[in-house]
Amino acid sequence: MYVELDRESDLPLYLQISNQIRQRISAGDLPAGTKLPPERRMAAMLGVNRTTIVSAYRELAADGLVEGHVGRGTVVADPDSDATGAHGTFQIPWNQLFTSTTEVMNDPLLRDTTMISSRSDVISLATGIPSPELYPIELIRSLLDEALHSGGQTLLQHCPTEGYGPLRAALGRWMAVEERPIDPASVLIVAGSQQGLYLLARTLLDPGDLVVIESPTYLGALQVFRAAGARLLPIPIDASGMRVGLLEDLIARRRPKLIYTLPSFQNPSGGTMSFDRRRRLLELAERFRIPIIEDDPYSVLRYEGVPLPTLHALDQRGTVIYLSTLSKILFPGFRIGWIAGPQPVIKRLALMKQIVDLDTNPLAQWAVWALLDRGHLLEHVDELRSIYPYRRDLMLDALNRHCQGLLDWNRPLGGFYIWAHLRDGLRTRDLLPEAARFGVSVAPGESFHPDGEGESTLRLNFTLPAPEDIDEAVRRLAAAISSLRGSRGADDRQLQETATPIV
Amino acid sequence: MYVELDRESDLPLYLQISNQIRQRISAGDLPAGTKLPPERRMAAMLGVNRTTIVSAYRELAADGLVEGHVGRGTVVADPDSDATGAHGTFQIPWNQLFTSTTEVMNDPLLRDTTMISSRSDVISLATGIPSPELYPIELIRSLLDEALHSGGQTLLQHCPTEGYGPLRAALGRWMAVEERPIDPASVLIVAGSQQGLYLLARTLLDPGDLVVIESPTYLGALQVFRAAGARLLPIPIDASGMRVGLLEDLIARRRPKLIYTLPSFQNPSGGTMSFDRRRRLLELAERFRIPIIEDDPYSVLRYEGVPLPTLHALDQRGTVIYLSTLSKILFPGFRIGWIAGPQPVIKRLALMKQIVDLDTNPLAQWAVWALLDRGHLLEHVDELRSIYPYRRDLMLDALNRHCQGLLDWNRPLGGFYIWAHLRDGLRTRDLLPEAARFGVSVAPGESFHPDGEGESTLRLNFTLPAPEDIDEAVRRLAAAISSLRGSRGADDRQLQETATPIV
């Protein structure tokens, strides 16, 4: 539950908390019957004393906004049930009007994680963001200056929905380093790869359609596919990526509409699909004529070993729709990603993009084009490839030092993430408030699984935290796990409390 | 039909045309049975001789790609009907996979208009773009420089899905010049108002839901509502805007889910809803608890007369969801718009935006915030308010000079557009190729109607063309209308040809 605390403020913390919850209740964000987080858990998440939360909840109870029930905890009270309540006679009952599309989005575990990660006393290992101190800011400054000087009237204007022509060509050449030349007309510029995924889902998936995904997989993809009403067919992964051997039977039996995969340095697991499985996956997809969406933000960030061809590079028959982004190798703020695929698909996606947002910021597109065309992006990626493995190793060293016997983890050959498992059946959702208390956050692996599995897994990011913070973050994580193990037998009530979803 | 000609190229024009059509056929963009535009019409649109088109079509016929049928014109030929045709054995039959969402988007009339307007020898009156020579480019240059200097790491990063906090507050204050203060939490930043409309449709409309719209109305809204599967209930407009008197009966009978209106300097008609009708519309919406989406890109661009309050300013009960954009008062390239409305709606829209594209470019958001916060935007709008009425009057003078007896038109008090009717039942779709031949383009009014009406209407934009081109553009338009009138009786075949939709 999002609460933002201002520790410099004159307003006592308990009033800051009660005020914000009050606002959410009156805004309809917390409908009647919603269970507030247990006091102890809320206190741990916010990094305050339990008495502060008790006082905050009492304030709300005094106003009749919440009620305490033995065994049920604190719940939002039922206001007048007719429409003549606190909101005025004629207020529109918005909850009756909303479509079901966005209901799937409310993952309380992720909201908690986001809230904890934003605390200034918390070191976040939960994100998927490149190191901000490596952003080529001066270069961007001079490029934007140049762009506006020479082409302001054009670059502040609309541009074609499909994207800025020279950028489409440059991205085709960027990909062609590894594979055959790519026609600019086969490239669509999108506002980040999240938009790319969304357009693909809206263009290819009707409600009820089946999509093969890896389990775990990118959670933004889970959200997009769920919002499209698709049913998910998870295939487990192992050290060689998606277990393609399980796929043939599944395809023959269920005839899925799409296969979605992140073959290289996968988010969240850091794993990579072997060459042999890539070949077999493509063969199967071709045989059954099932399109593959290859989501590939990380493959150029390989730190060791031999590069593997992308599925798109192996594809001779137009079966693979390739998706990537500048957000991981440059920075996310420009919101630039791209799709490369068969031209009928690109055209259809462009029609959809025209409805969704008309076009993508042409100034940002020009700057990315210039970075590509003048070789800056390649230089920048080379720099990342020299710095990130050092950070990965810092984290691996810290894990060896602090987490032996508490966690198991892998050693990724590229990308942003180490993937870990809590031992002895501990659950990451129980660890999160404890970790918050010790001042560290991680991404809960459960949120990357389509089926409530992966309860003991977690994702650790080594690109965002400052190198000097990595050891301390892992030390805090170890302390939190130890603390959770210690409290486990002693406090059954906690396990019971956390078994109900938090708001 | 889009064909791009390079008149500097060594490749003959007929080959450029046949090559591009060939590519489209092999890309699946023009499926078997598609009718190519009649030769005469295609020649007029591209500004080439009819013999060039005849040669291009003959090339295609020689390759077996098109066939000529007496009475049916030139159609794309049926390739091998099994999947072992020219595309290779295993090609995925994409057209079988696409959802119906994007099918509604293919308005051939608009594609023709876009194509004609992009010709360098054509003066376009067809767009809705502010004057590029008035963009405050130097100011933007220095703001972006400042932003990256002081906050590059943050502004090239992700930002909250709801938008950059200070910008949400500043837009609340911007609106509050005219009305009560607006809570920043009631404001959502979107990637242009097209995205705002899209998010609203996805959040509030299930397939089959009914939406009241003005007829004519903004064509991007028609596309969004159709893509959502909504059914449209058009209400005609007159000189005082939407005919609200017709609404009560319709609401009682059909119970629509939403009302969509552009009350001020409407796109396309330039008209404005009277104060009295605003009050009555709001009253009706409150009584029946039907949300109003107020689309308001133009109201600050009033050139004369007394400002009217927006529906949002009149609304006391949270019935109105307000939508606006910087694209018309600044420039479109930053892709920044906003929605102001009840907080439950804003929260739901933010969940949807998280699926659609995560967040909006924070650097562009910061620059818009700075423009607002430092008073630059107000100064800029003042400048537009002093310059645009002069351009409107140039166009009205030119219409008086050249189009008497050919056209009827209105005199808008603000905004971007003059709305006109062809006399004597002439159709704008017949005028377009003729206008292209004379070197001018206009927006076909039919595309702004939900029901195939408005065949004789057209929209004339006075902000994009250079002031020195306006008289010439209107002179060409008059010549095209005269030519169409002259050819009408003499050539029945043309009317018959154009009665079938063009590709």
The closest of A382, A422, A389, A375 to A403, measured between CA atoms, is A422
For testing the chain A interface, which of B23, B118, B323, B355 should be mutated: the one with the most A CBs within 10 Å? Answer: B355
Evaluate whether B479 touches B438 at the Cβ level (below 8 Å).
Answer: yes
The rounded distance, in Å, linking the Cα atoms of B92 and B111 is 27
CB-CB neighbors (< 8 A) of B186 in chain A: none
**Three-class HEC string of A66-92:** EEEECCCEEEECCCCCCCCCCCCCCCC
For testing the chain A interface, which of B194, B222, B335, B365 should be mutated: the one with the most A CBs within 10 Å? Answer: B335
Q: How far is CA B364 from CA A130, B140, B368, B378, in A?
A: 20, 10, 6, 18
CB-CB neighbors (< 8 A) of B360 in chain A: 335
The CATH number of A137-374 is 3.40.640.10
CATH 1.10.10.10, applies to A13-85: yes
Query: Per residue in A72-88, pLDDT tens?
Result: 788 888 765 444 444 44
The rounded distance, in Å, linking the Cα atoms of B470 and B451 is 31
Half-sphere exposure of residue B387: CA atoms within 13 angstroms, side-chain side: 18
Is there a contact between B332 and A158 if contact means CB atoms under 8 Å apart?
Answer: yes
Closest Cα in chain B, distance from residue A427 (Å): 27
Query: Per residue in A118-150, pLDDT tens?
Result: 888 999 999 999 999 999 999 999 999 999 999
Closest Cα in chain A, distance from residue B89 (Å): 9
Which three-class secondary structure state does DSSP give residue A306?
A: coil
Evaluate whether A432 touches A472 at the Cβ level (below 8 Å).
Answer: no
Looking at chain B, the domain(s) classified CATH 3.90.1150.10 span 123-128+379-498
The closest of B437, B482, B431 to B44, measured between CA atoms, is B437
The rounded distance, in Å, linking the Cα atoms of B306 and B358 is 40
How deeply is B329 buried, as exposed, middle or buried, from its count of CB atoms within 10 A (0-12, 13-18, 19+)?
middle
Q: How far is CA A38 from CA A72, A106, A495, A497, B118, in A?
A: 10, 19, 12, 7, 62
Number of residues that make up chain B: 503
Q: Closest residue of A to B118, CA-based?
A: A160
Judged against a pLDDT cut of 60, whether residue A471 lies above it is answered with: yes
CB-CB neighbors (< 8 A) of A334 in chain B: 156, 361, 363
Fold observed for domain B13-89: Arc Repressor Mutant, subunit A (1.10.10)
Closest Cα in chain B, distance from residue A488 (Å): 35
Average pLDDT over residues A251-280: 96
A91: left (phi over 0), alpha (psi -120 to 50) or beta: beta
Is there a contact between A331 and B291 if contact means CB atoms under 8 Å apart?
Answer: no
DSSP state of A501: P
CB-CB neighbors (< 8 A) of B94 in chain A: 342, 344-345, 348
Evaluate whether B235 touches B212 at the Cβ level (below 8 Å).
Answer: yes
Average pLDDT over residues A310-333: 96
Q: Say whether pTM exceeds 0.80.
A: yes
For chains A and B, CB pairs below 8 A equal 258
Of the candidates A90, A191, A333, the beta carbon closest to that of B363 is on A333
Give the pLDDT confidence score for residue B379 in this predicted structure.
97
Residues 6+ apart with CB under 8 A from B491: none
Closest Cα in chain A, distance from residue B43 (Å): 24
Is there a contact between A101 and B203 if contact means CB atoms under 8 Å apart?
Answer: yes
Evaluate whether B218 touches B232 at the Cβ level (below 8 Å).
Answer: no
Give the pLDDT confidence score for residue A83 in this predicted structure.
41
Q: How many CB atoms lie under 10 A from the CB of residue A52?
A: 20
Evaluate whether A406 touches A422 at the Cβ level (below 8 Å).
Answer: yes
Give the pLDDT confidence score for residue A95 in this predicted structure.
84
Q: Which residue reads 């119970």 in tokens? A: B255
Residues 6+ apart with CB under 8 A from A226: A104, A232
**Three-class HEC string of A137-202:** HHHHHHHHHHHHHHHHHHHCCCCCCCCCHHHHHHHHHHHHCCCCCCCHHHEEEECCHHHHHHHHHH
Closest Cα in chain A, distance from residue B140 (Å): 8
The rounded distance, in Å, linking the Cα atoms of A314 and A180 is 10
CA dihedral A371, A373, A378, A381 (to 10 degrees): 30
Is there a contact between A333 and B145 if contact means CB atoms under 8 Å apart?
Answer: no
Tell me, what amino acid is at A332? P
DSSP state of B333: T
More confident residue, B20 or A489: B20
Q: Which residue reads 């918005």 in tokens? A: A94
Residue A106's H or E segment, with its range, is none
Give the pLDDT confidence score for residue B81 in this predicted structure.
45
Evaluate whether A356 touches A423 at the Cβ level (below 8 Å).
Answer: no
Q: Beta strand pairing status for A457-461 and A417-422?
A: antiparallel
Closest Cα in chain B, distance from residue A31 (Å): 11
Evaluate whether B286 touches B314 at the Cβ level (below 8 Å).
Answer: no
Of the candidates B145, B157, B354, the beta carbon closest to that of A331 is on B157
What phi and psi, each to the nearest 5 degrees, are found at residue B419? -110, 135
Query: For the stretch B226-251, what's the b/e string if a residue is b when 16 or more beta carbons lie within 10 angstroms of its beta carbon?
Result: bbbebbbbbbebeeebbebeebeebb
Alpha helices in A303-443 (DSSP H): 311-314, 343-356, 362-373, 376-402, 428-438
Is there a contact between B287 and A90 if contact means CB atoms under 8 Å apart?
Answer: yes
Q: Token digits for B67?
A: 């066939």
Give the pLDDT confidence score for residue B361 in this predicted structure.
97
Residue B442's H or E segment, with its range, is none
Is there a contact between A194 and B356 if contact means CB atoms under 8 Å apart?
Answer: yes
CB-CB neighbors (< 8 A) of A331 in chain B: 156-157
CB-CB neighbors (< 8 A) of B345 in chain A: 94
The rounded distance, in Å, linking the Cα atoms of B185 and B57 is 59
Judged against a pLDDT cut of 70, whether residue A450 lies above it is answered with: yes
For testing the chain A interface, which of B356, B365, B447 should be mutated: the one with the most A CBs within 10 Å? Answer: B356
Tell me, what amino acid is at B133? E
CB-CB neighbors (< 8 A) of A204 in chain B: 97-99
Give the pLDDT confidence score for residue B121 in this predicted structure.
92
Residue A65's H or E segment, with its range, is none
The closest of B431, B419, B430 to B460, measured between CA atoms, is B419
Tell me, what amino acid is at B341? G
CATH 3.40.640.10, applies to B137-375: yes
The rounded distance, in Å, linking the Cα atoms of A478 and B281 is 62
Q: Closest residue of A to B193, CA-based?
A: A357
Query: For the stretch B8-37, what's the b/e string if a residue is b when 16 or more beta carbons lie within 10 angstroms of its beta carbon?
Result: eeeeebbebbbebbbebbebbbbeeebbbb
CB-CB neighbors (< 8 A) of A224 in chain B: 355
Give the pLDDT confidence score for residue B494 in this predicted structure.
44
| Helix, strand, coil in percent for chain A, rounding step 5 | 50, 15, 40
Looking at chain A, the domain(s) classified CATH 1.10.10.10 span 13-85
Q: Closest residue of B to A135, CA-based?
A: B153
pLDDT string in tens for chain B (503-residue length): 668 888 888 888 998 899 888 888 877 778 777 888 888 888 888 888 888 998 899 889 888 888 887 677 888 887 654 444 444 445 788 888 898 776 666 677 887 888 888 888 999 999 999 999 999 999 999 999 999 999 999 999 999 999 999 999 999 999 976 667 899 999 999 999 999 999 999 999 999 999 999 999 999 999 999 999 999 999 999 999 999 999 999 999 999 999 999 999 999 999 999 999 999 999 999 999 999 999 999 999 999 999 999 999 999 999 999 999 999 999 999 999 999 999 999 999 999 999 999 999 999 999 999 999 999 999 999 999 999 999 999 999 999 999 999 999 999 999 999 999 999 999 999 999 999 999 999 999 999 999 889 999 999 999 999 999 999 999 999 999 999 999 865 444 444 433 333 33
Evaluate whether B65 touches B25 at the Cβ level (below 8 Å).
Answer: yes
Query: Per residue in A290-308, pLDDT tens?
Result: 999 999 999 999 999 999 9
Q: Beta strand pairing status for A231-238 and A210-215?
A: parallel
Looking at chain A, the domain(s) classified CATH 3.40.640.10 span 137-374
pLDDT-based confidence at A221, cuts 50/70/90?
A: very high
CB-CB neighbors (< 8 A) of B256 in chain A: none
Give the pLDDT confidence score for residue B103 in this predicted structure.
67
Evaluate whether A380 touches A136 at the Cβ level (below 8 Å).
Answer: yes
CB-CB neighbors (< 8 A) of B343 in chain A: 27-29
In sign, the C-alpha dihedral spanning A446, A447, A448, A452 is positive
Q: Where are the beta strands (DSSP E) in B399-499?
A: 407-409, 417-422, 440-441, 443-444, 457-461
**Three-class HEC string of B349-382:** HHHHHHHHCCCCCHHHHHHHHHHHHCCHHHHHHH
Closest Cα in chain A, distance from residue B256 (Å): 11
Q: Beta strand pairing status for A440-441 and A123-124?
A: parallel
Looking at chain B, the domain(s) classified CATH 3.40.640.10 span 137-375
Q: Closest residue of A to B195, CA-based?
A: A357
Is there a contact between B106 and A351 if contact means CB atoms under 8 Å apart?
Answer: yes
Tell me, what amino acid is at B164? Y
Pick the most confident of A4-13, A97-106, A216-225, B86-95: A216-225
| Cα B1 from chain centroid (whole Å) | 18
Of the candidates A204, A358, A363, the beta carbon closest to that of B192 is on A358
Of the candidates A144, A149, A358, the beta carbon closest to that of B194 is on A358
pLDDT-based confidence at A181, cuts 50/70/90?
A: confident
Q: Which class is domain A123-128+379-498? A: alpha beta
Give the pLDDT confidence score for residue A499 in this predicted structure.
36
Is there a contact between B358 and A93 if contact means CB atoms under 8 Å apart?
Answer: no
Give the pLDDT confidence score for residue B80 in this predicted structure.
55
Q: How far is CA B131 from CA A156, A191, A324, B390, in A?
A: 11, 26, 35, 13
For testing the chain B interface, which of A335, A371, A380, A461 should be mutated: the one with the most B CBs within 10 Å? Answer: A335
Write down the ipTM of this complex.
0.84
